[in-house]
Amino acid sequence: MRIVALAGGIGGARFLRGLLAAVGPQDEITVIGNTGDDIHLYGLKVCPDLDTVMYTLGGGIHEEQGWGRADETWSIKAEMKEYGVGPEWFGLGDRDFATHLVRSQMLTAGYSLSQVTEALCVRWKPGVRLLPMSDDRVETHVRITDEQGTRAVHFQEYWVRLHAAVDAEAIIPVGADTAKPAPGVLEAIAEADVILFPPSNPVVSIGTILAVPGIREAVAAAPAPVVGLSPIIGGAPVRGMADKVLAAVGVEATAEAVALNYGSELIDGWLVDSADEAAVAVVEAAGIACRAVPLLMTDVETTAEMARAALALAEQVRA
């Protein structure tokens, strides 16, 4: 079975680990990773979501934290502080820096982000084919208003530095309108047997991937069933601050509102948490098959069970 999953960072990566545990060795998983949260720091290209997927599936992730490397050291960060060079609010450990150095050196040498990602995965062996959504630069910005007035800040600044404490007025995926899907992305979607939306952020992760011209259309036109898992449980994000960016696009932070925002032209099935049983009827009324199952990714086996439920729902909507 050929499975395509659109993935953001921590939530997407943890779901994929469960998915890998749920499928057989003959199944092929292609992950289309969000690159809208990419940022240039210290002259290097940093791809947080791609790296979180790569490190998580490759066994290098800092488990408790969910991002960054296990057994990390922080010498460079300490030195940057001594040099007075920021940003101080973004945490790049020394091991992580090595990835950004290798990536940046290859990009400067003329390789595409797809090629670089493939090269990095030679080491990490994530067990999936990891494709960036695009080789073109896309950076999500967030419009906010604070004591400095109304302005757009990089998503990472909004998320990591400001902790989404200020209202997001608009989400702007800068560069997305002219970006092209990376090689293999549209083909993978067209040839997929199942397409999954993990419980990633529907606005700044899945939403950004879908904002690359051609990808939303390809998903909508794909013969494969498309099944998503709600990142919202009981009216709040499981982790992160998805409610803040959902508000910016006028979507309520509920399991059903997120499903309806994707819409039946895009998704065929939707899983909500058992706590959101009441959402099932609302979602189904909109023409989207819906089931309520436990959606907390407490460990790999629980997450594998979620993946099985998603694949089972895909089979039901296919039939």
Residues 239-258, interacting with its own copies (CB under 8 A) = none
DSSP letter assigned to residue 84? T
> What is the smallest separation between the CB atom of 139 and its own copies, expressed in angstroms?
18
> Using the rule CB under 8 A, is 95 a contact of its own copies?
yes
> What is the smallest separation between the CB atom of 69 and its own copies, expressed in angstroms?
9
> Using the rule CB under 8 A, is 79 a contact of its own copies?
yes
> Using the rule CB under 8 A, is 67 a contact of its own copies?
no
- Residue 87 preceded by cis peptide, ω within 30: yes
- For residue 156, the one-letter residue type is Q
**What DSSP assignment string belongs to 119-157?**
HHHHHH--SSEEEESBSS--EEEEEEEETTEEEEEEHHI
Q: What residue has token string 């090689």?
A: 183
> Using the rule CB under 8 A, is 65 a contact of its own copies?
no
- Binder among 24, 25, 26, 43 for its own copies (CB under 8 A): 43
> Using the rule CB under 8 A, is 75 a contact of its own copies?
yes
Residues 110-169, interacting with its own copies (CB under 8 A) = 120, 122-123
DSSP letter assigned to residue 270? E
> 38 and 90 in contact (C-beta within 8 Å)?
no
Q: Which is nearer to its own copies, 40 or 163 (CB)?
A: 40
- For residue 166, the one-letter residue type is V
User: With contacts defined by CB under 8 A, how many residues of the chain interact with its own copies?
Assistant: 28
Q: From CA 277, how far away is CA 272, in angstroms rounded?
A: 7
Residues found near its own copies in the complex (CB under 8 A): 42-44, 72-73, 75-76, 78-80, 82-85, 93-95, 97-99, 101-102, 104-105, 108, 120, 122-123
